[in-house]
Amino acid sequence: MTAVNGMPSSAVQFNCTQVAWSPLFGRYLVASDAVQQRGQLLVEELPLAVGPKCGNSDVLCLACYAPRIVERCSQCSWPLCPACNEDANNTHRQLECGLLKAAKARFFELPAGGKYCPQLDCIMPLRVLLAKEAQPERWQNEVAPMEHHEQQRRENADVWHADRVNIAQYLRGPCKLAERFSEELIMQVVGILEVNAFEARTTQGYPLRCLYPYTGILAHSCVPNTARSIHPSDSYRIRLRAMVPLEAGQQLQHSYTYTLDGTVQRQSHLREGKYFNCSCDRCLDASELQTHFSSLKCGQCTDGWLLPKQPTVVGSSWSCRACDNTASSEEVRQIVDALQLEVNAVQSLEMGAKRLEEAERLLRKYKSLLHPAHYIATGLRQLLIEMYGRVQGYEMVQLTDQLLERKAQLCREVLHVLDRFEPGLSRARAMNLYELHVPLVLLAKSGFIASRLSGGELRARLVEAIDLLKECVEILQHEDSSSQEGILCGVAKQALQQLTMSVEGLGDELQ
């Protein structure tokens, strides 16, 4: 891998990747050479700044981001947990502590019942501003050109005013930084973070934000061709890999929305949070690449589905391609919102048998309303996959063969959707591959014990499960070992080793 623009190799390194520019996309990344192997490392980059998210409902430690902190920094009296207070080299002490102490900027306690701690909103922008002073060349070349969409953000007057008061005016006033940073610059930084920052988690699982000047300019697609992983145990280094093989000159794309949302929901998220409309192939196709991921059952004919006439246009009417039935966007929205409320009510239930059974009930109910692959139905399937084998009354050892088949069916249906929307090295795919291997192994063993399967058939079924685990490990091996995915990778490796030994032993018995 090579350094970029004279930057130290520890900051960013490219492999088969280069920066391009166009009037439509601005700066973006492309494959400089053909990438044949999925999983190929494309970009490796350290963040310019790391800090707390905006809108925190808890007082956070400004070094490790642990919530509900009552202790204060011994130097500046801002939130710091006991362990970090004893560390003179923690992030807070290295960055903003001295400024807050010199300015005598007081941290006010969150009132009883308070749901928002606005003072913490200034910390991440301040850290970016301090990085600007420490690395002026990096700021000028790579951060200043990043999109901040000032005009569009100004249109949301309430949010703009809150940011201006809580961040810009607070830094320039109580923090006494008016001579160093203009209000215009601070608001530009706020916009850069809002549009470009990535969320991450610490090794303890606490959420935070990171700003990456290169990886942050990735183009968006609702069918991405790259996957990113952030490694908190390695200074929050981000690694971007190819999900699928790439052609030379092909644009590198990542999804900035949840790929298992419908087109209306994805477009709304991108407009409100990223200030653009997506025109990828999936969004332009009313059937979402023939999956009918947002299609509703037509109420006027037996075989038709309601699809949006113009899927990327706000307020588009819907029509059936098999008959002349139409519906307004408001009618469709009311139906979907009502169903989503029911799903939300089920998701709010305590993890247990009732939650599982209610999810199954809704899935049966929606057969007459939604296409089988609709995103609401797919979300229910994912919920059920996570519950079968884990909730009381439905633990894995208690599942009948019929329920094991049910879990396997649910996994295959979700994987079929992921094949279209997250091809290749998808973390969601890996999680479902692991979930699928368990019922397959149990069904194979019970079938052999009941003499429904021969020894050769048992071996073939177990080899199928081994293949699932191998792909699961192939995908998750690049994740940080402290993350949920990294931990699952370790579990999958152990299961793979044990299952492989079982098959080898079985081979000896069958000979």
Whole-Å CA distances, 483 to 63, 205, 236, 463:
19, 8, 12, 28
Radius of gyration of the chain (CA): 26
Q: Per-residue pLDDT averaged across 297-320, rounded?
A: 95
Confidence at 506, pLDDT banded by 50, 70, 90: confident
The answer for residues whose C-beta is within 8 angstroms of residue 64's C-beta and 6 or more apart is 81, 83, 84, 90, 202, 204, 206
Q: Which token pair is 415?
A: 């994987």
In which band, very low, low, confident or very high, does the pLDDT at 510 lie, cut at 50, 70 and 90? low
Mean pLDDT of the chain: 94
* pLDDT tens digit sequence for 442-457: 999 999 999 999 999 9
Question: What confidence score (pLDDT) does residue 371 get?
Answer: 97
Mean pLDDT value across residues 332-361: 97
**pLDDT value at position 55?**
87
Angstrom distance (rounded) from CA 361 to CA 343: 11
Start-to-end CA distance of the chain, whole Å, equals: 49
Cα separation, 288 vs 282, in Å, equals 5
Among 45, 471, 412, 26, residue whose Cα is nearest residue 243: 471
Q: Among the residues of 110-262, which ranges form H helices?
A: 123-134, 136-138, 150-155, 157-163, 170-172, 183-196
pLDDT at 112: 65
473 within 8 A of 489, measured Cβ to Cβ? yes
CA dihedral 320, 322, 323, 324 (to 10 degrees): 40
- What letter does residue 111 receive in the DSSP assignment? P
The per-residue pLDDT for range 434-491, each reduced to its tens digit, is 999 999 999 999 999 999 999 999 999 999 999 999 999 999 999 999 999 999 999 9
CATH fold group of domain 424-511: Methane Monooxygenase Hydroxylase; Chain G, domain 1 (1.20.58)
Confidence check: pLDDT of 244 > 80? yes
- 403: enclosing H helix or E strand: helix 401-421
- In tens, the pLDDT along 34-87 reads 999 999 999 999 999 999 998 888 899 999 999 988 899 999 999 999 999 999
Tell me whether residue 271 is exposed, middle or buried, using C-beta atoms within 10 angstroms of its C-beta: 0 to 12, 13 to 18, 19 or more. middle
What band does 261 get if pLDDT is binned at 50, 70 and 90? very high
2 has a pLDDT exceeding 50: no
**Residue 458 amino acid letter:** L
DSSP β-bridge partners for residue 246: 35
pLDDT tens column, 186-225: 999 999 999 999 999 999 999 999 999 999 999 999 999 9
Say whether pTM exceeds 0.75.
Answer: yes
CATH of domain 2-47+212-254: 2.170.270.10
Q: Across residues 98-104, what is the average pLDDT?
A: 97
Cα 17 to Cα 34: distance, rounded to the nearest angstrom? 10
DSSP string covering 32-90, please?
SS-B-STT-EEEEE--SEEEPPSS-SS---TTT--SS---B-TTT-SB--HHHHT-TTS
Query: Cα–Cα distance between 439 and 447 in angstroms, integer?
Result: 12
* pLDDT > 60? residue 10: no
Q: What is the pLDDT of residues 118-147, one digit of tens each?
A: 999 999 999 999 999 999 999 999 999 999
User: What confidence score (pLDDT) does residue 219 get?
Assistant: 94
Residue 204 to residue 85: CA distance in whole angstroms: 18
Q: What is the mean pLDDT of residues 229-236?
A: 95
Question: Whole-angstrom Cα distance, residue 463 to residue 502?
Answer: 10
Task: State both tokens at 453.
Answer: 């399967």
Q: In this predicted structure, what is the pLDDT of residue 57? A: 80
- In the chain, CATH 1.20.58 covers 424-511
Q: Where in the chain is the domain with CATH 2.170.270.10?
A: 2-47+212-254
What is the distance between the alpha carbons of residues 199 and 228, in angstroms, rounded to a whole number?
11
Say if residues 162 and 122 touch (Cβ distance below 8 Å).
Answer: no
